[in-house]
Amino acid sequence: MLDNALPLSSNVVSVVRAGTALLHRGDPVDQIVHVIQGRVILGVCLGGQIAHQLGVIEGPFWLEAASGLLGLPHAVDAVAETEVHFQHVRVLDFVAEVQALPATLQALLMDMARSQRQQTEMAISRLAKDADARCAEWLLRHAEPGDLAGSLAVKLTERKRTIAAELGIAPETFSRVLRQLRERQLISGGGRVLGLPNPQALRELAGV
């Protein structure tokens, strides 16, 4: 549906050779790449090379459309595995076409975009980060304003075993990391509510 409806920024088809970077993780999304043909590796680059591979997509495919819809930076690096033929569509045009759809379809697409983004971030976290960084990132993602002005806290609404499974680590590892974070005064309190007295240190640990 969107392949035929969306106005491309240019009718010119660009062609890149294998090994060419198409997207850089963390860069703002101003245009969305529509891969017409060819294979693209998604993952995390180190030193200009894919060091942690998340998967491979093959055209036709909208590359990182979820990030464009949500107004977020690219979640992954993308490198051409083969020769790739592609075109661009401006994010503003892409969003305008989505907003022209019936409200129920808009809601469905946005829900799918949020779900895909969350799954991608979690997959990247598992690939590229150790247990400490994953836990720190999870705590920051679930932080809410605390009782004191300017403070942050996390309510553990799920069992620790469930959270550990979400992070891809053993429950014992999750408990150990929480204990170490408490010893480093990066979390406080106990039970079902954890305080975050030093969010900046957690961000540095999480790499965000």
pLDDT, position 1: 45
Q: Model confidence over 160-202: pLDDT tens digits?
A: 888 888 887 888 888 999 999 999 999 998 788 899 999 999 9
Between CA 66 and CA 82 the distance in angstroms is 23
Residues 6+ apart with CB under 8 A from 60: 3, 34, 35, 36, 37
pLDDT beyond 90 at 50: no
Task: Give the predicted TM-score (pTM) of the model.
Answer: 0.62
Domain boundaries, the chain: 2-127, 129-206
Mean pLDDT of the chain: 87
Fold exhibited by the domain 129-206: Arc Repressor Mutant, subunit A (1.10.10)
pLDDT, position 61: 94
Q: Are strands 77-80 and 84-90 parallel, antiparallel or unpaired?
A: unpaired
Kindly indicate whether the domain formed by 2-127 is annotated with CATH number 2.60.120.10. yes
